[in-house]
Structure 1
Amino acid sequence: MRQIVYVAGPYTAPTREGIQANIDKAEAIGKMLLLQGDTPLIPHRITGHWDADPRFSGMTARDWMNDVCLPLLDRCDAIIMCPGWINSPGSLQEHQHAVVTGKLIMYFEDDMPALTP
């Protein structure tokens, strides 16, 4: 049975190109999840670059987490932590939320041939 898997990893970067690279990495892992039979939910892709939209200029990182990311994570069965998550404040929050809410937590590293819990 398919599970919905939240893809967590770094988003913020010093440049728009760096942010796009982080979005692309999360998307690549999401595609791997889909090929393995799960349904990925990739917040990077859902709201990518919205932080550059002046209509959202008043939103803080905390707002994004509380108003967008964690409500999406709550609707998922599991979370996968992408490379670099340990150095990402947002990913650390998502990981902690997954621990507290009892989600299945998977970890993906660049050299892993397959996803492992």
Structure 2
Amino acid sequence: MADFADKAQEVAGRAKRTAGDLTGNDDLKAEGAADQAQAKVAQGIDAAADKAAEVKEAVSEAGDVAQDKISHLAHDTADAARQLHLDDAASVARDNRVIIAAIVAAAVAVVLLTRRALTR
């Protein structure tokens, strides 16, 4: 809705500016130019907000994917350790150090994916 209102303000500003040109009314011409500029700024702000929302969603999705991959990797590692009858190694997979390492890895993945998304 804001996009429509901003576009309408831009068109109205253009009309005022043209009317000011045709009638020689500098005040009307300046008012129209100001309306157009204000509308263009509002449109730019809306476009930037839309892009920020897209980046936020991409980062969120990347974090979810990274978290899933880390969870599967930890689960697979624990399963492999159990299959080799390495009970100590399986218990390490549940240890807080492994959880912290997984969180750090997820954070690094999110940062890298964010940088990639922002450079595109």
Q: Output the TM-score relative to the length of structure 2.
A: 0.28
Higher relative helix content: 2
Larger C-alpha radius of gyration, 1 or 2?
A: 2
Higher relative strand content: 1
Greater RCO, 1 or 2 (C-alpha within 8 Å, sep 6+) = 1
